[in-house]
Amino acid sequence: MKMNGARIMLECLKKEGVDTIFGYPGGTVINLYDALFDFKEIHHILPRHEQAGTHAADGYARATGRVGVVIATSGPGATNTVTGIATAYMDSIPMVIITGQVPTPLIGNDAFQEVDIIGITRPCTKHSFLIRDVKDIALTMKKAFYIARSGRPGPVLVDFPKDIQIAQSEFDYPETVEIRGYKPNLSGHPRQVEKAVAMILESHRPVMYVGGGTVLSDSAEPLTELARTLTLPVTTTLMGLGSFPESDELSLGMLGMHGSYCANMAMSNSDLIIAVGARFDDRVTGKLSTFAPHAKIIHIDVDPTSIKKNVPVDLPIVGDVKDVLLKMIKQTDKNKEKLAGFVAALTPWHSDITAWKEKHPLGYKQSSTIIKPQFVIQKLRELSDDDAIISTDVGQHQMWTAQFFQFNKPRTLLTSGGLGTMGYGLPAAMGAQAAFPNRQIISICGDGGVQMNIQEMATLVQNRLPVKIVILNNNFLGMVRQWQELFFDKRYSSTCMELPIDYIKLADAYGAKGFLATKPGDVESVIKQGFEEKGPVIMEFMVAREEKVLPMVPAGASLNEMVLNA
Amino acid sequence: MQHTISVIVENDFGVLSRVATLFSGRGFNIDSLTVAPTNEEGLSRMTIVTRGDDQILEQINKQLNKLIDVLKVLDFTDGSAIERELALIKVAAEDDARAEVLRVVDIFRAKIIDVTPKSYTIEATGNPLKIDGILELLRPLGLKEVVRTGAVAIGRGAKGWNG
Ligand SMILES: Cc1cc2nc3c(=O)[nH]c(=O)nc-3n(C[C@H](O)[C@H](O)[C@H](O)COP(=O)(O)OP(=O)(O)OC[C@H]3O[C@@H](n4cnc5c(N)ncnc54)[C@H](O)[C@@H]3O)c2cc1C
Ligand SMILES: Cc1ncc(C[n+]2csc(CCOP(=O)(O)OP(=O)(O)O)c2C)c(N)n1
Ligand SMILES: [Mg+2]
């Protein structure tokens, strides 16, 4: 049966198991939207801005592990997705972005609403395609989804000209796909695995440094098993939070610029770092020349470019985290007789770590009059469901969430780490809620960033997506203010939000509920009221305005040169 | 150190700009770049001459390999490949200089491909160092225009790039 290109596109999405998409109509996707009108198998959510739609697809992908899909029209619709694409690219999130394009004969003519979106997004996509023939749609989409989700995941953009949407063809979806130049190496080399386990068994001060690759490959289980069998202390990056239960004694919490004292001390004193799907970001390593000076490094990563990019590596293992961890578990099993001795010999290392934990635990000064932001985060943990999903925006509140929420399950933290995109939190939560209508989805935002996609309140209310929005209101662009306080003599240039917003009225305007807490005694009741509401809510907490995120490794300092209280 | 890298790519739309974007976006140097189709349908071959320390060259290699359209990256470390470049050189040649130009052309086994009373146009091929050499000798006589293709390279021995 012949059908038009627009319909073929939807059939492709269905074949890929897509059930929910986000998108915004316009001239060059009007045919696609016409096909969508009676295509019941795909649920379409209309955000109020294409950037938000892209973050929503990203949040959907992070929460589920599936490929997020977003549609935008050509020109301004397409350019509005760019921040969302770059955000997903930096954190390796699988996504397919379908942009309308002017009809093929007009491409290059500066036609109405024409932009070279492939050119614009080339540096922030894993790959991109321009469909030039209706017969190519199926194979292109098969490739797009395969590239987006395999190996190191990432966003793939498909530019879809209007005339191709109109043209007719048969629909025939390929079962398999073969791309000559793309063969991600998923299987870790057995010899390298053997060497890795041998290196671990010879080490005395090992640390597992666990990153987003562990979440992306759904490897929390084998990771936890291996760490517990070998009693290896585990620290995670911001992106790795949740892949190892922070409630476990072996957990050191997050490392890096705002990491825990014990995690950064453990890295600085370690003799063997086992990096698992982590990319030695500068927020993590601090000054490179003094990073982990005593440690050998084993680096497990599916992307060879991540290995030896920033630090020299003693044992690289290219492969999928899950594959490698499972092999390491087997290999450890083969060395059972050495295990007891190894674990016993770690006792001094474990006591060093306990001493660091006790010396400077994460903390803050409680107040009876002003709400401390960290206190709100702790209360949220206490009062929320075990499997609640948390999204954050970017800033101080993001770091307090990372430090104080205690993440125990993978895919329960959605946060923009690599790009640090303000405006991410609310729409990402929206995407997660669309995927899991019955789970508790909490979006923790600052008063600055929440305004960057606040229009999505409308989408939440319209689609009955009961996201719980938490605003930690310090009436400052707090993270920048903190830097100004510490490094610019308290010259608060353009970081004070001069105009207070009445968020309760704002919630009301969108048809949602708002609750306000101004003193510590309000915190618990506001959270409880918010959680009890059936629909979306804003919970606003007026928090200590000049609270700082600590500890902090100043930019350019070594990991063990933390500012603990300033 | 200077390195010559051959990259076998799928002849897809935009592949050249993907490679160029990679180099500019990551701050890698390109001294020269050539590209043309190969004997195999649908494949092109780029030859890129670049510079950097070992760590940078390793990244260049890995990053090129990561591009979906790239089938193979051949890094020719010194001696493993034969390199050639073509140059078209327009040089001023009047009076005594005319004989001098012809002598240089002869020494470098180059060819005169166009003649006017005031100039010669020369075609020279060879290793890029040889092209540098002939230009060195012609420069004092007055170079009017120089067009170089950039190096192309092929591995030594009986095997082709894919066996
Ligand atoms: C305000 C702010 C402050 C921050 N402070 C900190 C901080 O204090 N500490 C901190 O840790 N971060 C911090 N970050 C985040 C930081 O910028 C980086 O995003 C983060 O450290 C990167 O985490 P990662 O190394 O886990 O890498 P990711 O970006 O998650 O990369 C994942 C790695 O795993 C690999 N991978 C992917 N899939 C697989 C697979 N299946 N198998 C094998 N490998 C795979 C990828 O190739 C990649 O190398 C901060 C961000 C912001 C915005
Ligand atoms: C789109 C964007 N613009 C600017 C920044 C720089 N920036 C990082 S944190 C921050 C302050 C955020 O303020 P707020 O949302 O109130 O959160 P707080 O730090 O106060 O918790 C700014 C401006 C950014 N990360 N993203
Ligand atoms: Mg703020």
Nearest to A179 among B17, B18, B68 (CB): B68
A317-351 tens-digit pLDDT: 999 999 999 999 999 999 999 999 999 999 999 99
Answer whether A305 sits within 8 Å of B63, measured CB to CB: yes
Q: What is the pLDDT of residues A169-214, one digit of tens each?
A: 999 999 999 999 999 999 999 999 999 999 999 999 999 999 999 9
Q: How many helices (H) and strands (E) does chain B have?
A: 4, 9
* Centroid of ligand 2 to alpha carbon of A417 (angstroms): 13
Cα Rg, chain B, nearest whole Å: 18
Answer whether A405's CB lies under 8 Å from A412's CB. no
d(CA A93, CA A61) in angstroms, rounded, equals 7
CB B110 within 8 A of CB B119: no
B88-123 tens-digit pLDDT: 999 999 999 999 999 999 999 999 999 999 999 999
Q: Which of residues 37-66 of B touch A (CB under 8 A)?
A: 55, 58-59, 62-63, 65-66
**ipTM confidence score:** 0.92
Give me ligand 1 centre to Cα A116, in Å. Answer: 30
* Residue B126, SS3 per DSSP: strand
| Residue A285 phi, psi (nearest 5) | -85, -25
Structure tokens, A261:
């004292």
Do the beta carbons of residue A62 and residue A411 sit within 8 Å? yes
pLDDT digits (tens, 9 = 90+) for A345-381: 999 999 999 999 999 999 999 999 999 999 999 999 9
Q: Rounded to whole angstroms, how far apart are CA atoms A534 and A457?
A: 15
Q: What's the mean pLDDT in A552-561? A: 94
C-alpha A264 – ligand 3 centre gap (Å): 27
pLDDT bucket at A566, cuts 50 / 70 / 90: low
B63–chain A nearest CA distance, Å:
6
A308:B69 CB<8 A: no
Q: Which helix (H) or strand (E) holds B103?
A: helix B96-107
Surface-to-core class of residue B83, CB atoms within 10 Å of its CB (0-12 exposed, 13-18 middle, 19+ buried): middle
> Do the Cβ atoms of B104 and B93 come closer than 8 Å?
no
Q: Does B70 touch chain A (CB under 8 A)?
A: yes
Residue A211 Cα to ligand 1 middle (Å): 6
pLDDT, chain A, mean: 97
d(CA A163, CA A265): 60
Distance from CA of B62 to the nearest CA of A (A): 5
Out of A283, A371, A374, A394, mutate this one to test ligand 2's pocket (max ligand atoms within 8 Å of CB): namely A394
Distance A87 CA to ligand 1 centre (A): 12
Ligand with an atom nearest the CA of residue A421: 2
Residue of B nearest to A151 (CA): B66
Q: pTM for the full model?
A: 0.97
Using the Cβ of B127 and the Cβ atoms of chain A, whether some distance falls under 8 Å is answered with no
The pLDDT of A127-145, averaged and rounded, is 98
> Shortest Cα distance from A129 to chain B (angstroms)?
9
| CB spacing of A119 vs B58 below 8 angstroms | no
| Average pLDDT for B109-138 | 97
- Give the Cα separation of A153 and A217 in Å (integer): 10
Q: Where are the beta strands (DSSP E) in A474-536?
A: 513-517
Q: Is A180 in Cβ contact with B58 (below 8 Å)? A: no
Which DSSP state fits A289? Answer: G
A62, A51 in Cβ contact below 8 A? no
Give the CA distances from residue A212 to residues A82, A145, A239, A241, in Å, rounded to whole numbers and listed in that order: 22, 20, 4, 8
Helices (H), chain B: 15-25, 54-66, 96-107, 128-142
Which one of A182, A183, A306 would you mutate to disrupt binding with B, by most B Cβ within 10 Å of its Cβ? A182
The label of the residue with tokens 């063809």 reads A169
Alpha carbon distance B160, B40 (integer Å): 12
Query: Residues A506, A457: contact at Cβ < 8 Å?
Result: yes
Write down the H helix ranges in A335-445: 336-345, 347-359, 373-383, 396-404, 425-435
Q: Given an 8 Å threshold on Cβ–Cβ distance, is A180 in contact with B21?
A: no
Question: How far is residue A118's CA from residue A95's CA, in Å, rounded to a whole number?
Answer: 15
Instruction: Detail the DSSP E strand segments found in A1-114.
Output: 2-4, 20-23, 43-45, 68-72, 95-101
Cβ A118–B14 below 8 Å, yes or no? yes
Mean pLDDT across A498-507: 94
B55 vs A contacts (CB less than 8 Å): 308
B9 inside 8 A of chain A by CB: yes
Over residues A6-35, the mean pLDDT reads 98
